[in-house]
Amino acid sequence: MATPDQQVQRYLTIRQAAFIGVGSMVGAGIFALLGAAGSVAGAAVWLSFLIAGAVAILQGYSFAKLGARYPTAGGLLEYVAKGFGDGHLTGISAWLTYLANAIVTAMVAVSFGDYASAVFADDNASWSKAFAVLIILLMTVVNIVGSTLVARAQTVIVYVVLSILVVFAVVTLVNMDPSLLAPSEYPPLRDIVSSVALTFFAFLGFGIITFTAKDLERPAHQLPRAMFLALGIATTIYVAIALGVFGALPANEVVDAGATALAVAAQPSLGDFGYTLMAITALFATAGATNAGLYPASGLSERLVVTGHFPPVMARRLGGRASAGLLVQTGVCLALVLLFRLTAIASIGSAVALMIFILVTVAHLRVRADTGANTAMLVLAIAAAGVVLVTFVFTDLIHSPTSMAALLGIIAVSAGIDLGWKRRSARTRTVNDTSREE
């Protein structure tokens, strides 16, 4: 009988790794963003998703090249370290990533709670938070059991969600009114570009695919394929759904429907059954996004302890299984769900993610000779993400002092934690060295 050390490691397949990313992307974003994006871009939201997908694919090219050369559980933070070393910039980026991921995951869980309360508790607000807490705890348990269970759960969820969304897209596209999508009704190009700042949020989960490298048998070959497969699926689904929704309803009705736009758009063709079906789909999608959002916490924490960016406690495993890094992230998510309204601060997660993506690709430029990446593609990726970030700041954050303050606060907290921990670590090493000399 094989001992634990002799047991064959179970690897993820390309499809499983891609579906972890798809599950993270096709979550709350597509259900909550259509109304908000429609208020800016009108019926041209499908173009906004197409542009956002192109920006994400450019970043995905950079990430895939890095992941193929440096497969690691540290994911995109390892890439920053390769370009800039293991100094404060990498440490601050690590804490920014950790906190931003908690914010986005908590927002997705809140979205799950809202849909669950609508389906099971007649929109009772108190039940919304209870359902959000429940899905975070349930998906934490799934992640504690192991990455193969995460992948299996994610595969089932993504198959269900994609199947229903494909049916929805086909039905709405077949029955749409082409006049509602007439280019003559589109807003100015600057408004369409401005809305990319909103639709790009729906693609943020693709970075999570880089953390699957530790669970792939041949990451140099499989990671790029998983990255582009996930982005291709997400972009196709988003564009098809946007065309279907805005081809079924006038833009003002989509805006008025808000988070339930997909369910409302299903009613003309599928009736009340369509509304209920899309609400249930939203539950699966947001559950999958919560699952995928928690996935990187264990590997990221353990890797960053090794590199000295996180304190050793973050790598401990309680009972031999439960990662302290995962449990801390769960605690942060629960605190955010219980103490804050996350609709406003969710945009902060998008801004922080864009900053990190740009930083990763700038770091990539410094090691491009090792990865074999095309310099022009990397520069284009930086420029595209930079345009989205600047547009986001000047069309959204600048008009919301609270959101701007929250963004600066998150950066300050990340810097403070990194500087504080490293100073304490340096003092401890000094004391230990002095003791040995005496």
pLDDT in tens, 333-365: 998 888 776 555 666 777 888 888 899 999 999
- Which pTM was predicted? 0.78
- The first and second tokens of residue 278, run together, are 């899309």
d(CA 190, CA 212): 37
Strands (E), 69-185: none
Instruction: Name all domains of the chain by residue range, CATH numbers in brackets.
Output: 14-424 (1.20.1740.10)
**Residue 212 pLDDT > 90:** no
What is the number of residues in the chain?
Answer: 438
Single out the residue of 7, 10, 366, 12 nearest to residue 221, CA to CA: 12
Question: What are 280-310's pLDDT values in tens digits?
Answer: 888 888 887 788 788 778 877 887 787 777 8
d(C-alpha 39, C-alpha 191), whole Å = 10
Q: Which one-letter amino acid corresponds to residue 185?
A: E
Determine the average pLDDT of the residues in 323-342: 85
- DSSP annotation string for 329-357: HHHHHHHHHHH--HHHHHHHHHHHHHHHH
In 3D space, the residue among 32, 28, 38 whose CA is nearest the CA of residue 104 turns out to be 28
Predicted confidence (pLDDT) at residue 65 exceeds the cutoff of 50: yes
Residue range 92-135, pLDDT digits in tens: 888 888 888 888 788 788 888 887 887 787 767 778 889 999 99
In angstroms, the CA 376 to CA 360 distance is 16
Whole-number average pLDDT of the chain? 82
CA proximity to 185, closest of 43, 48, 35: 43
Whole-angstrom distance, CA of residue 177 vs CA of residue 62 = 39
Range name among 14-18, 159-163, 251-255 with the lowest pLDDT average: 159-163
Nearest to 328 by CA among 346, 359, 304: 304
Question: pLDDT higher for 147 or 152?
Answer: 152
Crossing angle between the packed helical segments 28-41 and 189-199, to the nearest 10 degrees? 160
Helices (H) and strands (E) in the chain, counts: 17, 2
CA angle, residues 416, 419, 422, in degrees to nearest 5: 140
pLDDT at residue 4 greater than cutoff 50 = no
**C-alpha span between 288 and 128 (Å, rounded):** 17
Q: Residue 347 has what pLDDT?
A: 66
| Secondary structure of residue 12 in the 3-state scheme | strand
**Separation in Å, CA 34 to CA 93, 171, 220, 354:** 30, 18, 36, 20
For residues 401 and 43, the model is more confident at 43
Task: Collapse the DSSP code of 186 into the 3-class scheme (helix H, G, I; strand E, B; otherwise coil) and give the result.
Answer: coil
